[in-house]
């Protein structure tokens, strides 16, 4: 099923993965699809990557749909949910993997860059959480994404860590606000993970240093993080609610 197929087809469990065509989001899309979920792969600009992801999921026997939406645009996100419900009958899981990274000392950061970062990472996370709270079916889950840099507090990550700290602050509040709905809300905070975005503009020495930081002495993989999301959205993860899970191999 492609992004142009709007045929209604009630299926079993349905997941929306924002930023689902690249990096950790793509790994999450693959893992949930392999676990039997129908997956809506959200993207903001790279339609080719989204359609490539959908093609891979369907080739492996899954059911998938690519839908464009800017997570910071509430009307676009509402349309994303509308298309999901029209195609599959409802929404059971929302994984908000969409995000933006900008590195700079706080004293030197261009405030326009700060605004763009926070538009996606803070406003976008809030918009997705708000629509998920309105649209998720009973028994559903919302999984957000923070970063372990909120705890490690590396230099140059000030703006990024601040944006991710906002997501952590919302997590337990929303879980409590959804009392009685049988919906869990959790946030995954990965450590250094070998994605294209993470590796970009880093020297071999920087990558090696970060890989040695956890006691397990390696970078995380997107599949490591996808496994955590799969647990949180499974029946086995139902008693975990309102939590920040630092999936980082033993870093602070």
Contact between residue 63 and residue 39 where contact means Cβ atoms under 8 Å apart: yes
Q: Is there a domain that residue 229 lies in?
A: yes
DSSP letters spanning 18-48: ETTTSHHHHHHHHHHHHTT-EEEEEESS-HH
- Residues 14, 40: Cα–Cα separation, whole Å: 8
Q: Is there a domain that residue 203 lies in?
A: yes
Six-digit token string for 158: 């000030």
Q: Is there a domain that residue 44 lies in?
A: yes
The pTM of the full predicted model, rounded to 2 decimals, is: 0.93
Helix (H) or strand (E) holding 244: strand 244-245
Contact between residue 128 and residue 18 where contact means Cβ atoms under 8 Å apart: yes
- Residues 113, 39: Cα–Cα separation, whole Å: 31
Of the listed 160, 163, 171, 251, which one is catalytic?
160
Q: What is the CATH number of the domain that holds 58?
A: 3.40.50.720
Count how many domains the chain has.
1
pLDDT score, position 187: 98
61: which DSSP letter?
A: T
The CA distances from residue 150 to 113, 166, 167, 226, in Å, are 19, 10, 11, 20
Q: Is there a domain that residue 9 lies in?
A: no
pLDDT score, position 7: 42
- Residues 106, 114: Cα–Cα separation, whole Å: 10
- Residues 96, 71: Cα–Cα separation, whole Å: 9
For the chain, 252 residues long, give each residue's pLDDT as a single digit of tens.
Answer: 444 443 444 568 999 999 999 999 999 999 999 999 999 999 999 999 999 999 999 999 999 999 999 999 999 999 999 999 999 999 999 999 999 999 999 999 999 999 999 999 999 999 999 999 999 999 999 999 999 999 999 999 999 999 999 999 999 999 999 999 999 999 999 999 999 878 887 899 999 999 999 999 999 999 999 999 999 999 999 999 999 999 999 997
- The answer to whether 157 is a known catalytic residue is no
Q: Is there a domain that residue 4 lies in?
A: no
Q: Is there a domain that residue 1 lies in?
A: no
Q: Is there a domain that residue 163 lies in?
A: yes
Question: What phi, psi does 150 have (nearest 5°)?
Answer: -60, -35
Pick the closest to residue 87 from 9, 14, 4 (CA basis).
9
Q: Is there a domain that residue 6 lies in?
A: no
Q: What is the span of the domain harbouring residue 187?
A: 14-245
- Residues 152, 248: Cα–Cα separation, whole Å: 11
120: which DSSP letter?
A: I
């Amino acid at each position: 099923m492609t992004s142009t197929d709007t045929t209604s087809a009630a299926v079993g469990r349905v997941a929306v993965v924002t930023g689902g065509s690249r990096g950790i989001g793509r790994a999450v899309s693959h893992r949930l699809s392999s676990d039997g979920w129908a997956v809506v792969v959200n993207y903001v600009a790279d339609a080719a990557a989204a359609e490539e992801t959908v093609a891979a999921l369907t080739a492996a026997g899954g059911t998938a749909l690519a839908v464009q939406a800017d997570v910071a645009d509430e009307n676009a996100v509402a349309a994303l949910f509308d298309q999901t419900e029209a195609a599959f009958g409802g929404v059971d899981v929302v994984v908000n993997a969409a995000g933006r990274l900008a590195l700079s000392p706080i004293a030197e950061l261009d405030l326009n860059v700060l605004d763009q970062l926070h538009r996606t990472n803070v406003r976008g996370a809030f918009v997705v959480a708000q629509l998920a709270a309105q649209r998720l079916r009973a028994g559903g889950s919302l999984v957000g994404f923070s970063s372990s840099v909120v705890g490690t507090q590396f230099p140059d990550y000030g703006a990024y860590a601040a944006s991710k700290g906002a997501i952590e602050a919302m997590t337990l509040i929303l879980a409590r606000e959804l009392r009685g709905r049988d919906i869990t809300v959790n946030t995954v905070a990965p450590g250094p993970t070998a994605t294209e975005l993470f590796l970009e503009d880093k020297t071999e020495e920087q990558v090696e240093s970060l890989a040695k930081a956890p006691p397990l002495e390696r970078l995380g993989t997107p599949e490591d993080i996808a496994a955590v999301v799969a647990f949180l959205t499974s029946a086995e993860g139902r008693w975990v609610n309102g939590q920040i899970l630092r999936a980082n191999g033993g870093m602070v």
